[in-house]
């Protein structure tokens, strides 16, 4: 496998640690694949139990920290997936999401699910372009 295609894991203390056999993110070449983030505060280790806007903000702040550790940012995100426990909360989640992303917006899927880890209301993952590994 060419050197620039080697898989490398990304780990930062500014986002929640993986709680299973997975990585916060994996880099391959100039792409980073960020695992789904739930509203878990990396400092306290506690779930954000506030409004759906507060929970969504925490998810996106966790994504931001992992993107930064990957030499990327929200302007380089090409795809996100939003998982919601209740699609009735879509408008509020969408408004919060819109404060983090600017045009050109990434592609996105949003799906309602029966259950998420730790019974949270929202989880978000993403794929982004990052600086090539030297």
Catalytic residue positions, numbered = 110
Q: What span, in angstroms and rounded, lies between the C-alpha atoms of 96 and 100?
A: 7
DSSP notation for the chain: --GGG-EEEE--TTSPPPSSSS-SEEEETTEEEEEEE-SB-TTT-PBP-S-HHHHHHHHHHHHHHHHHHTT--GGGEEEEEEEES-GGGHHHHHHHHHTT--SSPPEEEEEE-S--GGG-SEEEEEEEE-PPP-
Residue 16 burial by CB count (10 A; 0-12/13-18/19+): exposed, middle or buried?
A: buried
């Amino acid at each position: 496998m060419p050197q620039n295609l080697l898989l490398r894991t990304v780990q930062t203390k500014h986002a929640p640690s993986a709680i299973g056999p997975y990585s916060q993110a994996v880099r391959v070449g100039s792409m980073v694949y960020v695992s789904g983030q739930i509203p878990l505060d990396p400092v306290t280790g506690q779930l954000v139990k506030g409004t759906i806007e507060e929970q969504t903000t925490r998810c996106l702040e966790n994504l931001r920290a992992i993107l930064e550790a990957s030499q990327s940012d929200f302007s380089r995100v090409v795809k996100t997936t939003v998982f919601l426990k209740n699609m009735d909360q879509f408008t509020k989640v969408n408004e919060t999401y819109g404060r983090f992303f600017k045009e050109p917006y990434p592609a996105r899927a949003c799906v309602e699910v029966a259950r998420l880890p730790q019974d949270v209301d929202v989880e978000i993952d993403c794929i982004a372009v990052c600086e090539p590994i030297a």
